[in-house]
Amino acid sequence: MKLFVTGAAGFVGHYIVNRLLKDGHDIIGLDQINAYYNPQLKLDRLKEQGLESPSFSTAKSSLSASTTHQGNYTFYRADLEDVHAINKLFSEHQFDAVIHLAAQAGVRYSIENPRAYIQSNIAGFMNILEGCRDHKIKHLIYASSSSVYGANKEMPFSTDHAVDHPVSLYAATKKANELMAHTYSHLYGVPTTGLRFFTVYGPWGRPDMAYFSFTKDILEGRPIKVFNEGQMSRDFTYIDDIVESIVRLIPLAPSPNPDWDADNPTPASSYAPYRVLNIGNNSPVNLMEFIGEIESALGMKAEKIMMPMQPGDVPATWADTSELIKLTIFTPKTTLREGVRKFVEWYRSYYKV
């Protein structure tokens, strides 16, 4: 297949590209390579994908391309909100499916810089939807987020639950993406699958994630900030398990749900070719337990500063993944201990600690 992967220099995108290349697909990758975190990490991910010495700057750019030795991977540097660049890619390449992972990430950063989220997550997603509509894409898989559950308290979080009370603008843009996708599924028959990611972790991860900063601070002898006095839990999901689920979903484009009932509607499917899935581990872990696994893998104890809950955060996440497992015939297999150990080994190697 010829597949378009946005966010190809990002954490999840990096692994998806490598897996799809290994499976023999032709890949067009796209990333903005902005400075939300150190862009060198993104450039190093591209090198891992086989690109020769990528050296894109963080300045605004029109389409810039680089090709791998293998010949079946071409990477473009461009902004999602650059409608002309996105249109050009869709016009020049006959994609079978699109895996849209690019977005402005981060709950807390959305409080500081909300406009970035509207530009990338709303305007950028609109350009992807238009490309899928105009070029009859067979399946659009896009990244939503567990953040959409917001103020919900009923656990585990189910895609059958209403998600009408986001607590961050980041979450609001992801909920908006799901609504936009449904509109295009309804009006134009674009098959769309939205994936609500639950705390993905592992090697090559994002430096703004807590497990990454915990590891960095412990190794550098600094205390770590533990929010909500440690009374938090997350459905931590190892990157390899995320990738396996996504790859299995690519050929499984949604069809209209014949059992969908307008008098008792589920948000998870539709009379249109639309679905939303949780993609997680279905096994929440207390934050203090997670920190303990990092300490164990490092062989070091952390000095902890207990802090109140941060604005935009939630105390717990827990994914009901029954529908995902039914579709993909796959259950996450990586234990927390194994996943944390692999991340710490990568961190020590990459940063030469």
Domain residue limits, the chain = 2-204+236-281+318-333
For 351, which DSSP code? T
Cα separations in angstroms, 278 against 13, 73, 281: 18, 29, 9
pLDDT in tens, the chain (353 residues): 999 999 999 999 999 999 999 999 999 999 999 888 999 999 999 999 988 766 665 455 556 665 554 568 999 999 999 999 999 999 999 999 999 999 998 888 888 899 999 999 999 999 999 999 999 999 999 999 999 999 999 999 999 999 999 999 999 999 999 999 999 999 999 999 999 999 999 999 999 999 999 999 999 999 999 999 899 999 999 999 999 999 999 999 999 999 999 999 999 999 999 999 999 999 999 999 999 999 999 999 999 999 998 888 888 999 999 999 999 999 999 999 999 999 999 999 999 99
Output the CA–CA distances (angstroms, integers) from residue 177 to 100, 181, 339, in the order listed. Answer: 11, 6, 30
Q: Which of 109, 170, 211, 347 is catalytic?
A: 170
Q: Are strands 233-234 and 285-286 parallel, antiparallel or unpaired?
A: antiparallel
Q: Which residues lie across from 23 on neighbouring strands?
A: none
Q: Are 185 and 273 in contact (CB under 8 A)?
A: yes
The confidence score (pLDDT) of residue 69 equals 44
Based on its alpha-carbon atoms, the radius of gyration of the chain, rounded to whole angstroms, reads 20
Fold for 2-204+236-281+318-333, please state it: Rossmann fold (3.40.50)
143 touches 16 (CB < 8 A): no
**Which pLDDT belongs to residue 27?**
95
By the 8 A CB rule, do 269 and 262 touch?
Answer: no
Please choose, from the candidates 189, 59, 77, the residue with its C-alpha nearest in 3D space to the C-alpha of residue 133: 189
350 included as an active-site residue: no
| pTM (predicted TM-score) | 0.95
Q: Give the residue among 33, 51, 53, 50 at the shortest CA–CA distance from 42.
A: 33
How far CA 1 is from CA of 93, 94, 178, 250, 314, in Å, comes to 12, 10, 25, 10, 39
The answer to whether the CB of 33 falls within 8 A of the CB of 56 is yes
